[in-house]
Structure 1
Amino acid sequence: MEIAKAYEPKSAETHYERWEKNGYFAPEINRDPNAPKFSIVIPPPNVTGSLHMGHALQHTIMDVLTRWKRMQGYRTLWLPGTDHAGISVQRKVVEQLRNEEGKTPLDIGREEFVRRAWAWKEKYGNTITEQMRREGVSVDWSRERFTMDPDISKAVRNVFCELYEEGWIYRGLRIVNWCPKDKTVLSDLEVKEEAKKDGKLVYLQYPVITTDRKITVATTRPETMFGDTAVAVNPKDDRYKDLIGKIIALPLTDRKIPIIADEYVDAEFGTGAVKITPAHDPNDYLVGERHNLPRLLVMNEDGTMNAAAGADFEGIDRFEARKKVVERFEELGLLEKIEDYEVSLPICERCKTVIEPILSEQWFVKMEEMRDIALDLMQTEGVPHFSPQIPHEKVYTNWLENLKDWTVSRQLWWGHQIPAWYDGEGNVYVARNEAEAKEKAGGKELRQDQDVLDTWFSAGLWAFSTLGWTGEVDEQPSDDSSELKTKTSTDLEVFLPTDVLVTGRDIIFLWVSRMIMLTKKFTGKKAFEDVVVTGTVLGKDGKPMSKSRNNGVDPLEMFDKFGVDATRIYLASIATGADIKWNDVGVETYRNFANKIWNATRFCLMNSDGARVGNIEPQINTDEHRSLADKWILSRLNATSISVNKALAKYEFHTAVSLLYHFFWDDFCDWYIELKKDEINAGDIAASSFILSILEQALRLLHPFMPYLTEELWQKLPGVSNDLHNAAYRNPVAIAPGSDTDATIMLADFPKGDEAMIDERAELEMGTVIDLIRRVRNIRTEMNIRPSDKVAVHVAAKAAMQTIFVTNEAQILKLARADKLVVSEALEVPKASAKAVITNAEIAVPLEGLIDFDKERERLANQINKLDVELQRLNGQLSNAEFVNKAPAEKVEALRARRSEIEQQKGTLRSNLDALQ
């Protein structure tokens, strides 16, 4: 059968539409009611986003697992969906309003703003799902969900109300993280510590009334002094014992504040006296509670100073106010000094604005009971099991043990509006809808809370709300579809708990922990058993990809340049759990691998008239009529299959890729095809059928990693797509339901491997023959022997080994380009012979008549001299302590590796030169 000379990835990538149309991604494609299930829910990407390399890595891993399990006969559900991304979408719509109409959200009102947010989502929100289709992800699009779907919204309201009724949700006045740009509260997990920066520690003097003394406080945030309601000292600090209880005249204000004693104060820090600002610092807030201090808020939502800071400062940005406070204190002679001080600034993870801790009334979830749910699962069942286990399990447990209450309210309009209503007196009524709230309020006029819930609140329900759970006993699907009602209710029973979650370490606490807690709390089931934690794909410069660094790598560009399959298998090859620096050369390597697979298949199909893919039975391995090469490749195929399955079961994707790469490129292409080439070219039908059968299984092994290429080639194999009724060697569901003509590799059995088909003797014997041929080839290269020249190969070995070489003489002569093989117990060769050693044998190739000895000695000597010069230069660099300490570690390591390589090369060249003396 003829196929195109060159592989064109885009041509193969058209299979996706057929897969989706035929329903291959749905668990119902497997019609066996007793088949085991496998399920994954996708970490829902934001509707504002587009595909980035982190998505591509995680989606590849999830698709590999899903396709592997589907081929193993599981009813597989990989459920897709997107997140409403509260802050991000709100920001997009605000920008659109400002740029197109010059308006603010307040100008159009909440109802119109939410309508426009939905319109924005409908127009732009599907960008990433279309890009995901390009990736080849085998998600069940018929079950696609959105975190603000009506049924999920119903689930969110029911969870909130139940937690409130049980006392697990409360409204309180607490210090929160405030983003002045987005004008909303953030949870601790949404705040990132920016790299340490040079800051200033400012020493301010506060006059003590009725004395001539001043007490000095050190602060990095002078602008908050307007909110000071006390100065605290340690009760054991002798310096200030006589000042405890005295009153301070707070500069720049007309207020007076006390000096108090509290053990919270570190007498060794700064001056040992600390300004207490309960409305602007979480630790000061606690001190204020202990001493019943007032809480004075001195900033607006946008980070400017408010009226409480006085007329001279009202309306000024907090950082400008900081400078002005320092100037005023200096004018008053109350600025003691300013020191350089390294500070870590908390910033909003989205907009990078410096966070302001402020006192605010918000909704919180008590985390004590939630924490105990997660800790109990970890301690009793080891769930979730993290891969890699260390350090994530320890970090997860430590975090749970020190968990704080979760701030769940956000000052936004786009999202799940908090189901709480207030009457005119400020009484709160938490209810599932306004009618229920009014009933609780006795018919009073009510207004609903304007805040929405943290996006992670609805995301925390993702594992079970997406499977049909709404929190109502009599569930009615939102579209009145009985089919949907049946599907979702069954999904909850069948697919929860899910099997594995693939995610990044940055959202283990934001998302993983909360899904664990909420799923167990509301369904009594585990959200998932395993968590695969991926590393970060770094830019080519080794730093995190970002727009500001301009070091991002667009996966879509990689797809266009190298093909989807090459990009996918490269991503799987680096999926070790560690961070990895992106390297185009790595993708290019796998693009070449894809070409190799194509070309190997093309060769196998040449002169294959009459050949067919067939069932490879175990007894073939012991069939005496089979050649050593056949027994060996069959053994290698089964050993590889077993090892790949084990690697995938342990989430060792890089190991699985390495096994498949070396089996296909080294064992199958470089050796087996070369060994069988003459038979294939001669039109040997039996040989062609056998090699096609090995190829077909290899394509199945590769399919989860390279779905498009393997489908394209599998369809071309005789006896596969053209003979649907001869399905003895593959899963009967490889035939699409209701289809008379369509089959797919994605529903064929995944090769399990059979221990009985592993032939250790064949592997040992073939390995010895391969080592011999490889060493002779190396000698030819090292000694500069022309490709057209035939050589004589002398081998010294014991009797048993001699038999192996004699039996395979024809193959050795052909692949080593030799015209003579001499096998004996001891080498008897001219002195001018190149020699080598392999396991249990010695090899020699006489050189007389093959090379010009004088020229070859000169060439080898020159090569050695060049290497000596380079070696001296490297030794000079590596012996320079200053260079080694200051140069990048990877550069030093590369130089050391090069030095080791040169020393090895010199040893080989020296041995070759000695043979010519």
Structure 2
Amino acid sequence: MLSSDSKFLKPYDPGETEKRIYALWEQSGYFNPDKLPGGRTEPFCVVLPPPNVTGVLHMGHTYEDTVQDVAIRYQRLRGKKTLWLPGTDSAAIATQARVEKEILKKENKSRHDLGREELVRRVTAYAKESENLILNQIRQMGASLDWSRYAYTLDEKRNLAVNTAFVGMFNAGLIYRGQRIVNWDPKGQTTISDDEVVHEERVAKLYYFKYAKDFPITISTTRPETKVGDVAVAVHPDDPRYRTYVGQEYEANFCDVPIKIKVIADQSVDRDFGTGALGVTPAHSQVDWEISERHHLSRPQVINEYAKMTVAGRLNNLKTTEAREVVTTWLRTEGLLEKEEEISQNLSLSERTGAIIEPLPKLQWWIDVNKKFKLKRSEIPGLIAGAEISLKELMRQSVESNAVSMPQERFRKAYFQWVDNLRDWCLSRQIWFGHRIPVWYRGEEIYCGLATPAGTGWQQEEDVLDTWFSSSLWTFSTLGWPSQTEDLKNYHPTDLMSPAYEILYLWVSRMILMSGFHLGQVPFRQVIIHGLVRDKTGRKFSKSLGNGVDPLDMVAKYGADAVRLGLLFGTAIGSDVKFDEAKIKGQKHFANKLWNITRFILENASEASSGPDLTETDQALTDQLDQIIAAITEEMENYRFHLASEKLYHYVWDELADKILEASKLILKDNDTHAAESRRRFLRETLEKVLIILHPFMPFITEEIWQTLGKAELLMVEPWPIKPSVL
């Protein structure tokens, strides 16, 4: 007898199903751990890596969100008190830049024409208008996030957390204001961190020349225009070619600019690059700045914030690229240019604007990662409260002790290498949208606090904090810190962090730093890094290649379940995913296969009861499925979702559909009543087990079928069908 629901006579329709099912989940309240049934006590918490509030869902988000939703839905079925906490990030630099561009286009005004208050108001309004777009797109993928706990990096609670964190680190002596070389973005007109710099391999010219005819040493550089800012030539102390010149000083007029050069010996010089002699330009190179510190050299700045030359003479106010041509022409004319050769060079670019980075000396706010401080509290193995430790040591110990488990060895090694080479973190950004640094000035006085200091004449710092500062507090600021909330007590440390490898250094490492300092805890117990989603040939998605794919177009065409399973299927977490629409289409066929299996079982076993004992054959089939479920459970526990989904797919298609259902047709027609009743019971129980196990991967279709079975409770909170004896 066919189920009274005739929808099974037609192919599965995800477009008709998915919105209705998601609304059912939201109405149940079960995304909120406080409302889950069954007296659950063991927590399992994941915080969503916050997408940009002004962004749109792309394939990378879709894959990342699917991985996390599979983990959350699985743990919910295992009876845990699951919290998946949603939020968005302000993406301050990108968001302000987008609004400024529109204002310039429509009103022909700059941010300085509008003033700080008006610009921030407009950017805030734009961010709020854009917010619902990305959140609704995340919903369309089936994400079982607790929307009642939604957080935004610039909301009032997170602002308090950010200011509290800054003040705490300032008072500990870890945040300081100092003049250092920064990565300056001439297009964005702000500093950016090392981790926001991307490197692009380009062909460059390496020029070999002398400063003057009587200068004894040939140097080489790809940036001859910066040589008007040189104060020294550094050579390796063991290089016999230059030993007699060390300590000598020379004067020259280099392209209209008087320079004074001292020959110094420094261990950092690479004897095998170029001539083995390095022209030292302290104000425009991080390496040269450090050399100048060791040798007490002056640091004349010759390039400004707009990447233009500031020296007098023929180079004045020229762009650096223009000045390069002028300098090389002058070198040729003067007979100083000895040779030039093409080399491959990694050019530093701003990730957000694409501008060539200009190293410049700037007075900025920094976090000192090497300075020792007293750890107030600690739950991290190997670190005791009261210990004197640096932030670098804290970050290393958190992972070395396995308090943060990083089972993917290549990422673990990369993390340690990055920590060991970490430099002080530049916190200040020269924009207006973001968390304004909680520091005030009055003459020579500096005050750092949560509110404006008493008295008159105080001026707050104009700069805002690097957006990664607020993001690095994410695991605990979203749980209510600095208040000691029940959520913070119950869910921190969180259980899983699964971001792309692109932000291992930008975000994961900094969360470990911040959580360790402020809470004495790790932010999460396990890190599973995932790869990037690329096109089927392995290329990155990009506008220039025209190979981008909108995940929502795929959802409209094939359904969210097919997109989810298609992204997970066949690729281990950590490897790059090669997106192929044929895989998504294949998973739509799989959804229809499940739909047809259900139709057969409802037609033939809708009246099945739990009464009859199973036949020997059906018991063997049940035992086989229990063993498969045990194997799938092991894969799920170890985040091998690709293997779990493949095992389940092959059971459903190759065993259940192709073999068991075909054999069932004969058994159900036979005169053996006991065998038929046993098979009906087996089919009904098998369908229910399959729906539960498949639910984390394909939540919409499984919940839709479950509702047809007349169950009192939603599938999303059913117990996982594992037998302890099998485990």
The answer (yes or no) to whether the contact 1:41–1:498 under 8 Å persists in 2 is yes
Structure 1 position 163 matched with structure 2 position 163? no
Tell me which residue corresponds to 1:248.
251
The SS at the match of 2:46 is strand
In structure 2, distance between residues paired with 1:680 and 1:181: 74
Tell me which residue corresponds to 1:674.
662
Matches within 5 A, 1:261-340: 261-263=264-266, 264-306=268-310, 309-340=311-342
Structure 1 position 151 matched with structure 2 position 174? no
- Equivalent in 446, 455, 471 of residue 428 of structure 1: 446
1:180-235 deviation digits (Å, cap 9, x = unpaired): 1111111111112212x211011232127xxx455422110111112112233345
Tell me which residue corresponds to 2:387.
none
The SS at the match of 1:323 is helix
In structure 1, distance between residues paired with 2:74 and 2:415: 29
Question: Structure 1 residues 681 and 142, CA, compared in 2 at 3 Å: closer, same or farther?
Answer: farther
Question: Structure 1 residues 399 and 600, CA, compared in 2 at 3 Å: closer, same or farther?
Answer: same
The answer (yes or no) to whether the contact 2:615–2:678 under 8 Å persists in 1 is no
- CA positional deviation for 1:329: 2.0
Gaps of 5+ in 1: 476-487, 725-733, 735-743, 759-917
Matches within 5 A, 1:493-532: 493-532=489-528
Matches within 5 A, 1:762-777: none
1:277-317 deviation digits (Å, cap 9, x = unpaired): 100011111221223222111122121222xx224323322
The answer (yes or no) to whether the contact 1:47–1:83 under 8 Å persists in 2 is yes
Tell me which residue corresponds to 1:466.
478
Structure 1 position 592 matched with structure 2 position 589? yes
In structure 2, distance between residues paired with 1:679 and 1:269: 80
- CA positional deviation for 1:539: 1.1
Question: Structure 1 residues 260 and 571, CA, compared in 2 at 3 Å: closer, same or farther?
Answer: same
Tell me which residue corresponds to 1:351.
353
The AA in structure 2 aligned to 1:91 is: A
The answer (yes or no) to whether the contact 1:639–1:755 under 8 Å persists in 2 is no
Query: What is the identity percentage for the equivalent residue pairs of Structure 1 and Structure 2?
Result: 39
The answer (yes or no) to whether the contact 1:5–1:599 under 8 Å persists in 2 is no
The AA in structure 1 aligned to 2:108 is: G
The SS at the match of 1:119 is helix
Structure 1 position 131 matched with structure 2 position 137? yes
In structure 2, distance between residues paired with 1:370 and 1:593: 50
Structure 1 position 703 matched with structure 2 position 706? no
The answer (yes or no) to whether the contact 2:235–2:263 under 8 Å persists in 1 is yes
1:840-885 deviation digits (Å, cap 9, x = unpaired): xxxxxxxxxxxxxxxxxxxxxxxxxxxxxxxxxxxxxxxxxxxxxx
Tell me which residue corresponds to 2:431.
412
Tell me which residue corresponds to 2:682.
690
Tell me which residue corresponds to 2:715.
745
- CA positional deviation for 1:238: 4.5
The answer (yes or no) to whether the contact 2:567–2:577 under 8 Å persists in 1 is no
The SS at the match of 2:366 is strand
Query: Normalising by the residue count of structure 2, what TM-score does the alignment of the two structures yield?
Result: 0.92
Tell me which residue corresponds to 1:647.
635
Question: Structure 1 residues 545 and 161, CA, compared in 2 at 3 Å: closer, same or farther?
Answer: same
In structure 1, distance between residues paired with 2:199 and 2:536: 24
In structure 2, distance between residues paired with 1:754 and 1:275: 70
- Equivalent in 398, 405, 422 of residue 403 of structure 1: 422
In structure 2, distance between residues paired with 1:609 and 1:189: 59
- CA positional deviation for 1:687: 3.5
In structure 1, distance between residues paired with 2:75 and 2:356: 46
Structure 1 position 450 matched with structure 2 position 470? no
In structure 1, distance between residues paired with 2:336 and 2:456: 56
Question: Structure 1 residues 237 and 535, CA, compared in 2 at 3 Å: closer, same or farther?
Answer: closer
Tell me which residue corresponds to 1:258.
261
Tell me which residue corresponds to 1:792.
none
The AA in structure 2 aligned to 1:322 is: R
The answer (yes or no) to whether the contact 2:667–2:679 under 8 Å persists in 1 is yes
The answer (yes or no) to whether the contact 2:232–2:264 under 8 Å persists in 1 is no
In structure 2, distance between residues paired with 1:161 and 1:111: 24
The AA in structure 1 aligned to 2:514 is: L
Question: Structure 1 residues 671 and 31, CA, compared in 2 at 3 Å: closer, same or farther?
Answer: closer
- Equivalent in 38, 51, 65 of residue 59 of structure 1: 65
Query: Normalising by the residue count of structure 1, what TM-score does the alignment of the two structures yield?
Result: 0.73
In structure 2, distance between residues paired with 1:265 and 1:403: 20
The AA in structure 1 aligned to 2:698 is: M
Tell me which residue corresponds to 2:23.
17
Cα RMSD of the aligned pairs, angstroms, is 2.0
Tell me which residue corresponds to 1:787.
none
- CA positional deviation for 1:633: 2.2
- CA positional deviation for 1:444: 4.5
Tell me which residue corresponds to 1:6.
11
- CA positional deviation for 1:332: 2.5
In structure 2, distance between residues paired with 1:527 and 1:290: 37
The SS at the match of 2:95 is helix
The SS at the match of 2:406 is strand
In structure 1, distance between residues paired with 2:398 and 2:109: 50
The answer (yes or no) to whether the contact 2:233–2:263 under 8 Å persists in 1 is yes
Tell me which residue corresponds to 1:870.
none
Matches within 5 A, 1:213-228: 213-228=215-230
- CA positional deviation for 1:691: 1.1
Matches within 5 A, 1:18-57: 18-33=24-39, 35-57=41-63
The SS at the match of 1:232 is strand
The SS at the match of 1:692 is helix
Tell me which residue corresponds to 2:615.
626
- CA positional deviation for 1:236: 4.6
Matches within 5 A, 1:350-389: 350-368=352-370, 369-380=390-401, 382-387=402-407, 389=408
Tell me which residue corresponds to 1:831.
none
In structure 1, distance between residues paired with 2:644 and 2:329: 65
Tell me which residue corresponds to 1:601.
598
1:605-662 deviation digits (Å, cap 9, x = unpaired): 11445335x59xxxx8xx5x6141x123211221121111111101100110011111
The answer (yes or no) to whether the contact 2:528–2:573 under 8 Å persists in 1 is no
Bigger shift: residues 352-361 or 71-80: 352-361
The answer (yes or no) to whether the contact 1:30–1:74 under 8 Å persists in 2 is no
The number of residues matched between the two structures is 695
Structure 1 position 183 matched with structure 2 position 153? no
The answer (yes or no) to whether the contact 1:163–1:169 under 8 Å persists in 2 is yes
The SS at the match of 1:206 is coil
Question: Structure 1 residues 34 and 56, CA, compared in 2 at 3 Å: closer, same or farther?
Answer: closer
The AA in structure 2 aligned to 1:256 is: I
Structure 1 position 579 matched with structure 2 position 568? no
Tell me which residue corresponds to 2:378.
none
- CA positional deviation for 1:267: 3.8
RCO comparison, higher one (Cα < 8 Å, 6+): 2
1:93-134 deviation digits (Å, cap 9, x = unpaired): 111111111111010011111101110011112211110000
Tell me which residue corresponds to 1:533.
529
The answer (yes or no) to whether the contact 1:233–1:259 under 8 Å persists in 2 is no
The AA in structure 2 aligned to 1:284 is: D
The answer (yes or no) to whether the contact 1:231–1:257 under 8 Å persists in 2 is no
